[in-house]
Amino acid sequence: MTRRSISKRVALVTATAVAAVGTVTAGAAVAGPGWGDGKPSKEQVAGLFDQWNRTLQTGDPEKVADLYASDAVLLPTVSNQVRADHAAIVDYFEHFLANKPVGKKIETHINVLDNNSVIDAGTYQFTLTDPETGEKSVVKARYTYAYEKRGGEWLIVNHHSSKMPEG
């Protein structure tokens, strides 16, 4: 092998390595919290509920409320009061989290509207534990989450949840 052919091989290996690193880096940017600049997949949107449900498990109403935009509206499952600011959303979750809710989606329909707006609607259920007796109950409900990407972060801007009319 001549010195010239060795130099060409080194250049080719270096170029391939740089291209591979660039591809991995670009893939990481898409998979990160903001999912890059393109439209999110339905699987990524479904993951927003999973994140919300895991945050419920912390028992911290502030952490849950932080998943909502500052101007979000919450029409909650087990309260007649509309929650339209951070303090009111925290107040709701202070009471709701006392029941140690664990959510599970039953049916979901996701609409990706654009790069920064999505809607997730369907049915879910919560297993609740009475803090005094330890008795468990299940509440089935309909839901709608509207999310917007703000400052690179997906936040809930509207969340409607209502008990199923047939129980």
* CA-to-CA dists, residue 33 to 12, 29, 77, 149, 151, angstroms: 34, 8, 28, 10, 11
CA distance 23 to 99: 46
- Is pTM, for the whole model, over 0.85? no
- pLDDT above 70 as % of the chain: 78
CATH number 3.10.450.50 is the correct assignment for the domain at 42-163: yes
* Residue count of the chain: 167
* Domain residue limits, the chain: 1-31, 42-163
pLDDT in tens, 4-13: 444 444 333 3
Pairing of strands 68-75, 136-150: unpaired
How far does Cα 39 stand from its chain's mean position? 15
Stretch 25-31: mean pLDDT: 32
| Run of H or E including 104 | strand 102-114
pLDDT in tens, 137-166: 999 999 999 999 999 999 999 999 999 988
pLDDT at 30: 31
User: For the chain, what is the mean pLDDT?
Assistant: 84
Stretch 116-139: mean pLDDT: 97
